[in-house]
Amino acid sequence: MSRILIIGNSMAVVGAIEKIRHSDQESTITLFCTESLLPYDRRLLPALVAGEIKEAQTHPLAEDFFHQHHVEVIANERLARVSLKRKYITTESKRQIEYDQLLIADLGCLTLSLVKGHQKKGFFDCALLSSVKEAIKYLPFVDTVFISLTNLHGLNMACALHGKVKEVVVVCLGQTLLHEVFDEETGTLLKQIMEGKGIRVILENSIEEILGDSDIKAVRLQSGKVIGAQMVIADFLPLDWRLVEQDSGYEKIEDDYFHNGLPLKPSHFGFKIIEGFCMGSTKLLEDGREFLKFDGPQNIFKKIFAKGEVLVGTVLFNSPSHEEKLLKIIAEHIPVVGQEETLIGD
């Protein structure tokens, strides 16, 4: 009988538990919740900020799930260190928890050193529920929120904050919005739509420093420009693995939230700003083909990407009726040669 320890707060740990119990009823499983919270769905955090759901809805599993799968849950301790050589973890209260097999989804902490001034009051990230809950409490004292935008989750957070404060400003490194996710045409249109709804978009720039004494007062951009703000949200900061002594001796559980490379898993984005959907390769591949239909007055944008006989990706704005059909075609690799224009027709 083995002692299995799982560390993390994401929904990825749920799949790991189910997989273990499918073939192993005897080993003990301990789940160490790094944020002192039960596992939750990070993708729902923008909806929580927007007020569309309650906190309980970010936890799709009842506590009974862990009882039924014979999992000991530790959700009242903070992680201090992971000792892979000696096979135990240490909590901030000096408690040691031993294991034979270790699985890590996340460590509940992010690398903040890249953002100068991140220690000031008013800095939050949108990857951790504990941070988002504090941000919600802070919002009544905020006029302007500044978001460093690198992925769809940050875009969702920016859209969720629209209407909650007087001004939302996003900054992006690329020449077009979310240049690592979308092609130039898509990113340009997305920027136009967001600005039309009142979200300020700054391209080819980044946050150089967060300014203020103890509270955030402004941000200085790489260009030297200073913009007043009372809150800064980072949409993606790397997971901090410094608590782990070495890079082997454990199995890493992939959390979909932190997967930002192409191809993309089916993803919705934009909330009430734009009803967006994307999947697969969202840029033109070498030797590939792309097909587009656009209705300017309605902001309806439909683009599909093909290679060989099949579709490999799609981006849709305000066209929910096409989602299910295109998802099926892409997922099942259904040949579509000669039918591409029809697939995105009205």
Q: Which of 183, 204, 193, 203 is nearest to 262 (CA)?
A: 183
- Report the number of distinct structural domains present in the chain: 3
318 pLDDT band, cuts 50/70/90, is: very high
- At 97-125, the pLDDT tens digits run 999 999 988 877 656 556 789 889 999 98
Is there a single domain that holds both residue 165 and residue 306? no
CA dihedral 178, 181, 183, 188 (to 10 degrees): -20
247 pLDDT band, cuts 50/70/90, is: low
Is there a single domain that holds both residue 22 and residue 85? yes
Contact by Cβ (8 Å): 136, 224? no
CA dihedral 146, 151, 156, 159 (to 10 degrees): 40
For 222, half-sphere exposure in the C-beta direction (CA atoms, 13 angstrom radius) is 11
Query: Is pLDDT of 24 > 90?
Result: yes
pLDDT at 112: 56
The mean per-residue pLDDT over the stretch 185-192 comes to 96
23 part of a folded domain: yes
269 part of a folded domain: no
49 pLDDT band, cuts 50/70/90, is: very high
Is there a single domain that holds both residue 12 and residue 82? yes
Question: How far apart, in Å, are the Cα atoms of 268 and each of 44, 278, 323?
Answer: 11, 7, 10
28 part of a folded domain: yes
206 part of a folded domain: yes
Is there a single domain that holds both residue 223 and residue 313? no
62 pLDDT band, cuts 50/70/90, is: confident
310 part of a folded domain: yes
Query: Is pLDDT of 245 > 60?
Result: no
332 pLDDT band, cuts 50/70/90, is: very high
pLDDT at 110: 59
* Domain edge (last residue) among 197, 223, 258: 258
247: domain CATH number is 3.50.50.60
CA distance 198 to 193: 9
Q: 275: which residues sit within 8 A by CB, 6+ positions away?
A: 268, 317, 318, 319, 320
116 part of a folded domain: no
DSSP letter at 250? Answer: S
Residue with more model confidence, 24 or 163: 24
137 pLDDT band, cuts 50/70/90, is: very high
Is there a single domain that holds both residue 95 and residue 184? no
pLDDT at 253: 82
Is there a single domain that holds both residue 181 and residue 249? no
Is there a single domain that holds both residue 29 and residue 97? yes
DSSP letter at 318? Answer: S
Average pLDDT over the chain, rounded to an integer: 91
288: domain CATH number is 3.30.390
Q: Which domain holds residue 70?
A: 3-110+240-258
**Residue 223: φ, ψ to 5°:** -75, -10
- At 286-298, the pLDDT tens digits run 999 999 999 999 9
pLDDT at 10: 87
| Alpha helices (H) in the chain, listed in sequence order | 12-23, 45-50, 64-68, 129-138, 152-161, 184-196, 323-331, 340-343
Is there a single domain that holds both residue 218 and residue 78? no
pLDDT at 238: 59
Is there a single domain that holds both residue 100 and residue 245? yes
276 burial via Cβ count (<10 Å: 0-12, 13-18, 19+): buried
- At 72-98, the pLDDT tens digits run 999 988 888 888 889 999 999 999 999
Ramachandran assignment for 260, one of left (phi > 0), alpha (psi -120 to 50 degrees), beta (any other) = alpha
In whole angstroms, how large is the CA radius of gyration of the chain? 22
Query: Is pLDDT of 4 > 90?
Result: yes
User: How much is the pTM?
Assistant: 0.90
264 part of a folded domain: no
Is there a single domain that holds both residue 205 and residue 285? no
Query: Is pLDDT of 246 > 60?
Result: no
266 part of a folded domain: no
For tokens 């799982």, name the residue.
6
Residue with more model confidence, 150 or 281: 281
Residue with more model confidence, 34 or 171: 171
Query: Is pLDDT of 301 > 60?
Result: yes
Kindly list the strands in the beta sheet with 88-91, ordered across the sheet, starting from the edge strand earlier in the chain: 79-83, 88-91, 96-98
pLDDT at 124: 92
Question: How far apart, in Å, are the Cα atoms of 9 and each of 109, 129, 138?
Answer: 11, 9, 23
Is there a single domain that holds both residue 87 and residue 178? no
Query: Is pLDDT of 280 > 80?
Result: yes
Is there a single domain that holds both residue 61 and residue 140? no
